[in-house]
Structure 1
Amino acid sequence: MHLSFRWYGPSDPVPLSDIRQIPGVTGVVSALHDVPPGEAWTADAVHTLRQRVEAAGLTLSCIESIPVPEGIKLGTDDRERLMDRWCASVEAVGAAGVPVVCYNFMPVFDWTRTNLRRPLADGSEALAYVEGELSAVEEALAGDGLPGWMDAHSPDQLRALFAAYAEVSPEQMWDHLGWFLERAVPVAEASGVKLAIHPDDPPWPLFGLPRVVTSAEAFHRVCDLVDSPANGVTFCTGSLGADPQQVPHLPEAAGRLATRGRIHFAHLRNVRQLGEGRDFTETAHPDGDVDLGGVVRALAEAGFDGPLRPDHGRQIWSERDNPSVRPGYGLFDRALGATYLLGLWEAHSR
C-alpha cells in the first residue's frame, strides 16, 4: 500500500512541503488542473508535474483525474474525436511513468452535496447531503442562480445537459461506458497504466440523470465489460457508504474486488446517516457508520498494493475560518485521517 495525499497543484493552499511532513505519506495524487476538460495532455506536462512532486521528496502515485467529456458519456457524434484526446492523455501519463489513472463516468457532476460546511457536534464542519434541499437547486436552475458547487456550468449549459441526458437510459449509459472501455483499456495496457473508475457520489439517481456506477455489483460489471487487469476501480468508502444498504457489506466487497486484483486505488473516508432517508454527513475517519478497520483488513489480507488516500476531511481548528481552504480538502483533518489509516494498515498487515 502506498499512503498518498491529494494535491491540487501550485494553487493548492496545502503545499507539498506540508504533505511531506505527514507520517507515512509517500505519495501524491494530482492532475493537470490547468488543462481544460476534453483537451489532450502531453507527456512533458505530466513529467513536469512528476518532477515537482519528486523534488518535494514524494512520489506521484496516481492521476486523479482525467475528466471524461460529456460527449463520450452521452454518445454524441464527436465522441471519437474526444476519445482520441482522452487516450492521448492516458498515453502521456504512461510515458511519464505514473501507474494509475482515476476517472469517473458521472453525468454532469463529479459529486453532489447540499452543504459544504455543516456544523458537527464537536465544533468542526463537514460536507453533507440533505435530499430535501435539492429542491432549492432545481429552483435555481429555473432562474439564473446556482450554488457554488455547480459553478463549472452556466444555468443554460446545465439545462441543455439535463435535456440531453433525459434521452439516455441507464442501460444506454452502460453501453456508452462499454464503448469507452473498449477503446481506453487497450491504450492503458499498452501504456503501462491501470484505469480506476470512481463510483457515483452519492450512489443514486439525481435530477433524473442516469447514474450507473453505484455499487460493488456495478464495479464487477465494469470489470466484466472489458476483462483486463488494466480495467479496475477506485474503491471509495464514502461514496458507497452513503447508501445505508451497502454499509454492512463494504469490507466483504473490498475483499472480493481486491482478491480479483481490480482495486487500483482506494479512497477511505467515513459518513454518518442523518435519520432514515438518504441524508448523510461526512465525519472524522474514526467516526461514522463505515467499518474502515474492516475495509483496511480486507485490503491488507488480499495483498492490495496500490495508492490509498484519506478522502475528504472536516474543516477543523484554524481552517474553519480560512476562506482559502477547499471544503473537504484542508490539511489538518486529512492528515489526521492519514495517520489513522496508517495505524489500521500496520495493525492488519502484520
Structure 2
Amino acid sequence: MRMVFRWYGEGNDTVTLPQIRQIPGVEGIVWALHDLPAGDVWPLERILEVKRQADSYGFHIEVVESVNIHEDIKLGLPARDLYIDNYKRTIDNLAKVGVKVICYNFMPVFDWIRTDLFKELEDGSTALFYEKAKVDDMDPMELVGKIAANPEFTMPGWEPERLKRLSQLFEAYKHVTEQHLWDNLRYFLERIIPVAELNGIKMAIHPDDPPWSIFGLPRIVTNQANIRRLLKLVDSPYNGVTLCSGSLGVNPDNDLPAMVREFADRIPFAHIRNVRLYENGDFIETSHRASDGTVDICGIVKAYHDTGFTGYARPDHGRHIWNEECRPGYGLYDRALGIMYLWGVWDSLQNNRREAAR
C-alpha cells in the first residue's frame, strides 16, 4: 500500500506541504488543476509547476484527482469528440511528469452531495452529513446555495461555471436514462483507454457519491455488479476503479471486502473512509476508526493486505477537529489520524504474517 494525501494546491489549501511531510509514510500528493474548467487541456507548464512544488518536499505526483469529464461527453452530444481529444492531450501532458493514475467520475451535473458541511458530532467535532428527507424534498438550487456559501475554497464537482448552467443541464438530462449513460461512458472509454495505455496511466473511475439517483439524475457506478459491468466495457488493466469505501459504504448492501477481493487487479487507487448510517437513510462521516462508523474498515484493509495490494491509497474525508478551519472534509488533523489508524491495521497484518511464517 502506497500512502498519498490529497492537496488542493498552493494558495488553495489550508494544509501545507511541510505539514504533509510530517505525516509518517506519505510518499506523494494527490492533486489537480482545480481552476481549469472541465474539458480544457491541462497545460504542461502548469503541470510542471505542481511537480516543482512537490519535488521540493520529496513528494511524487503520480495520482491526479480529478480530471473532470465535460457534460457533453456524459450527454453524448456532438461536441464530445472535441472534449475527448482535449482529454487525450491532457493525458499526454500528465505522462510527461510521471503520472500513473487518473481518478475521475461520470456523475451527471453534481459530484458528491451532502446537505450539511459542518454537522456536529457527539464529541464536538463536525463532519459532512447527508439528510435523506431533505434531499428528497429539496430544490437543487437550494443545495447549490449551501455549497456556494463557502466561497473561500474551491469545491471539486461544484465548479461555478457548471452550476450557472444548472437549469439547462437538468433540461438536457431530462430524457437521459442509465442505459444512455452506460453507452456514453463506453464511447468515452473506447477512445481514452488506448491513449492511457500508451502513456502508462491507469484510469480509475470514482463511484457515485452517494450511490443512488439524486434529483432524478441517473447514476451507474453504484455497486459490485455495476463495477463488474464497467470493467468489461473496455477489458483492459488500464480501465480501473477508485474503490471508495465511503461512497459505496453508505449502501449497506455493498460488501466492500468482497469488492476489494474481486476487483483487486483493477484497483489502482483506494479511498478509505468511514461513515455512520442511520435507519432513516441519513449518514454522517466519522473518524476512520472502525467502531465509530458502519463501514468495516478493518475488513477492507485486510482484504487489500490479503490480495497483495501495491496501489495508492489515501484517507478520504475527515472530520473537522481541534477548531481547525479548513475545506469541508479536507483538514489536516483528522486525515493524519486516519493515516495512522490505517497504518496501524496494516502493520498489525504484516506482523501477523511474519509471525505465521516463523
TM-score class, shorter-chain normalisation, is over 0.9
Equivalent position of 1:327 in the other structure: 328
Q: Supply the distance in 1 between the matched residues of 2:75 and 2:162 (Cα, whole angstroms).
A: 19
Equivalent position of 2:356 in the other structure: none
Equivalent position of 1:194 in the other structure: 202
**Count of residues in correspondence between the two structures:** 339
Residue segments in structure 1 that go unaligned for 5+ positions in a row: none
Identity %: 48
Is residue 290 of structure 2 the alignment partner of residue 278 of structure 1?
Answer: no
- TM-score by length of structure 1 reads 0.93
Equivalent position of 2:323 in the other structure: 318
Q: Supply the distance in 2 between the matched residues of 1:302 and 1:41 (Cα, whole angstroms).
A: 35
Q: Supply the distance in 2 between the matched residues of 1:2 and 1:61 (Cα, whole angstroms).
A: 11
Using the TM superposition, give the Cα deviation of residue 48 of structure 1 relative to its aligned residue in structure 2, in angstroms: 2.4
Letter of the structure 2 residue corresponding to residue 289 of structure 1: T
Is residue 28 of structure 2 the alignment partner of residue 2 of structure 1?
Answer: no
Asked if structure 1 preserves the Cα contact closer than 8 Å seen for 2:204 and 2:240, the reply is yes
Equivalent position of 1:138 in the other structure: 139
Equivalent position of 2:118 in the other structure: 117
Is residue 270 of structure 2 the alignment partner of residue 269 of structure 1?
Answer: no
SS for the counterpart of 2:241 is strand
Asked if structure 1 preserves the Cα contact closer than 8 Å seen for 2:103 and 2:205, the reply is yes
Letter of the structure 1 residue corresponding to residue 13 of structure 2: D
Asked if structure 1 preserves the Cα contact closer than 8 Å seen for 2:66 and 2:103, the reply is yes
The list of structure 1 runs, each at least 4 consecutive aligned residues, that deviate by more than 4 angstroms after superposition, is 153-156
Is residue 99 of structure 2 the alignment partner of residue 98 of structure 1?
Answer: yes
Using the TM superposition, give the Cα deviation of residue 156 of structure 1 relative to its aligned residue in structure 2, in angstroms: 5.8
Q: Supply the distance in 1 between the matched residues of 2:240 and 2:286 (Cα, whole angstroms).
A: 27
SS for the counterpart of 2:263 is helix
Cα distance per residue 1:3-54 (max 9 Å; x no partner): 1100000021100000000111111100112322211013332232122112
Change (3 A) 1:61 1:341: farther
Asked if structure 1 preserves the Cα contact closer than 8 Å seen for 2:136 and 2:215, the reply is no
Equivalent position of 1:165 in the other structure: 173
SS for the counterpart of 1:147 is helix
Asked if structure 2 preserves the Cα contact closer than 8 Å seen for 1:243 and 1:278, the reply is no
Q: Supply the distance in 1 between the matched residues of 2:240 and 2:141 (Cα, whole angstroms).
A: 37
Change (3 A) 1:98 1:151: closer
Using the TM superposition, give the Cα deviation of residue 153 of structure 1 relative to its aligned residue in structure 2, in angstroms: 5.2
Cα distance per residue 1:182-233 (max 9 Å; x no partner): 0010000001100100000000000010111111221111110001111100
Q: How does 1:175-194 map to 2 (within 5 A)?
A: 175-194=183-202
Asked if structure 2 preserves the Cα contact closer than 8 Å seen for 1:296 and 1:348, the reply is no
* Coordinate RMSD, CA, aligned: 1.7
Is residue 296 of structure 2 the alignment partner of residue 288 of structure 1?
Answer: no
Q: Supply the distance in 2 between the matched residues of 1:291 and 1:120 (Cα, whole angstroms).
A: 20
Using the TM superposition, give the Cα deviation of residue 342 of structure 1 relative to its aligned residue in structure 2, in angstroms: 1.1
Change (3 A) 1:146 1:224: same
Change (3 A) 1:121 1:198: same
Q: How does 1:59-78 map to 2 (within 5 A)?
A: 59-78=60-79
Cα distance per residue 1:56-89 (max 9 Å; x no partner): 1222130001000000000011000011001111
Change (3 A) 1:22 1:196: same
Q: Supply the distance in 2 between the matched residues of 1:191 and 1:327 (Cα, whole angstroms).
A: 34
Equivalent position of 1:18 in the other structure: 19
- TM-score by length of structure 2 reads 0.91
Using the TM superposition, give the Cα deviation of residue 115 of structure 1 relative to its aligned residue in structure 2, in angstroms: 0.6
